[in-house]
Amino acid sequence: MNPPISRRTVTVSLLAGAAALGTAGVAQAAQSATADRPAERRGRPAAPTIVLIHGAFADSSNWSAVVERLQRQGHRVLAPALPLRGLASDSAYIRSVVDSVSGPIVLVGHSYGGAVISQAAAGAPQVKALVYIAAFVPDIGESALQLTDKFPGSTLGQATATRYYPLPDGGQGEELVIKKDLFRKQFAAGVPLRTAQVMAAGQRPITLAALQEPAAAAAWKRIPSWYLVAAEDRNIPPAAERWMAERARAHTVTVRAPHAAAVSDPGPVTDLILRAVRSVRSDH
């Protein structure tokens, strides 16, 4: 495990319209991203498309600083919106995104997005690497809540409020949000106050059922993985992150970062993704 990396606080600009990206938009973006492949025409290995999946209490804008860094280096990037309604349905949606991209893929998940990519990548030969950023890496039958409770340290339960929403059958579903006055401390400690306030205002609720739903697949058992442990995480205990990373035999780094590591420390997050990208290119 590498030594901790000093915090580099970065103010993040929002990705306009990222959270509203639908299936048609994803497919169009994927076609555009893969339309021009000069490296392939010269016989060099194709650079993988990087697909970034956000987690609970967030949207695609949390990847903004990472996306900017990757795009400046010429990488193709997609950051679709995750419904956050259920693990099976969310994974099926991301699998549709994966299937719309031609060529190799590095699939990146943050938080609950880690459980999603672990299931979505199962049986997807184009996914060559999985990158987990302070994320869940469940085995078959495990849920996000089970993994959170495996080690002490999470204060998420006290920081969330339950809301109710209508179901198609006329019943009510439960979803969770982080209380706005606790959002920065819980999710984004160290992020500039104004940035954290914007993040809190735009947070995406997640259903309680999604956090309780057991995983049906564990693609990390066959696909090489990388993991960033957020040493100051209050959502997922850092001890749980280290345990999951070790079990997955992931290439692991540790950063003194909150749960929203891609916002507080986009440099180390980008560096880890690029390590996975380089590994994919060297293997092909």
Give the domains, in start order, of the chain with CATH numbers: 46-283 (3.40.50.1820)
pLDDT of amino acid 13? 36
pLDDT of amino acid 284? 60
Which residues lie below 8 Å from residue 176, measured CB to CB, with a gap of 6+?
Answer: 56, 57, 160, 161, 162, 163, 205, 206, 207, 208, 211
DSSP strand E in 1-42: where?
A: none
DSSP annotation of 5 reads: B
pLDDT of amino acid 10? 35
pLDDT of amino acid 282? 79
pTM metric for this prediction = 0.85
| pLDDT mean values, one per 10 residues, the chain (284 residues) | 41 36 41 42 71 98 98 97 98 98 97 98 98 98 97 96 94 96 97 97 97 98 98 98 98 98 98 97 74
